[in-house]
Structure 1
Amino acid sequence: MIRTERQALIVWFQHMKNIKQLKRYGHLISVSRKLRYAVIYVDQTDIEEKVTKLERLPFVSKVDQSYKPFIRTTYENKSIQKTKEYEYEMGI
């Protein structure tokens, strides 16, 4: 099974009645009625094309890209200092 790289787009809109049209551009995940935005997942290869098409729509205010795929998620362990390790064992 091939896993496709995806990225989220946050689409700010003006009216709730146009949400059905947003489903054409990607996988609609969630919609905020109060703040009037929607989260859509799109393939990373097609992201520039989808952003330009979404920005052309009359009911869309702006489109933001998520930076989650570009954030490093592998963390390094910090070595515990010997004095702190001793204090933890003593209960201080």
Structure 2
Amino acid sequence: MFSERTGYIIWVNDVKSARSLEKYGSIHYISRKMHYVVMYMNSDRADEVVRNIQRLPFVKKIERSYRNEIKTEYERNVPDKTRFYSL
């Protein structure tokens, strides 16, 4: 139902022209101070889209986000000690 999405951090020279990246994927955040764009795109077409984005004159560098590879499910092996510290 949902396609797999991949996040990319795109470092740009000009934030105003970074709005034109919307046609390549969905823009999640644009940092005006640090000049980068966080955007998500479909994983199956990500390689060719990254090649097209790299050719744009205002793009400095593209980094892939590793957020979907980080483990987000935690297990508690240590017993809860908060009840011992209550007043």
Letter in 1 for 2:84: Y
1:72 aligned residue? 71
Match of 1:88 in 2: 84
1:62 is matched with which residue? 61
SS in 2 for 1:16: coil
Name the % identity: 34
Give the C-alpha shift of residue 59 in structure 1: 0.8
* Secondary structure of residue in 1 paired with 2:23: coil
Provide the rounded CA distance (Å) in 2 between the counterparts of 1:34 and 1:80. Answer: 44
Aligned residue in 2 for 1:18:
17
Deviation at 1:47, TM superposition (A): 1.6
Query: CA offsets per residue over residues 36-69 of structure 1, 9 Å max, x none?
Result: 1111111111221121111111110001111011
Q: By how many angstroms is 1:18 displaced?
A: 0.9
Could you list the runs of 4 or more consecutive aligned residues of structure 1 that deviate by over 6 angstroms after TM superposition? none
RMSD of the alignment, in Å? 2.3
TM-score (norm 1): 0.79
Q: SS of the residue aligned with 2:2?
A: coil
Report the alpha carbon displacement of residue 21 of structure 1 after superposing the two structures with TM: 1.7
Greater per-residue helix proportion: 1
| Residue in structure 2 matched with residue 40 of structure 1 by the alignment | 39
Aligned AA (2:28): I
Q: Which runs of 5+ in 1 are unaligned?
A: none
TM normalised by structure 2 equals 0.82
| 3-state SS in 2 of match to 1:41 | strand
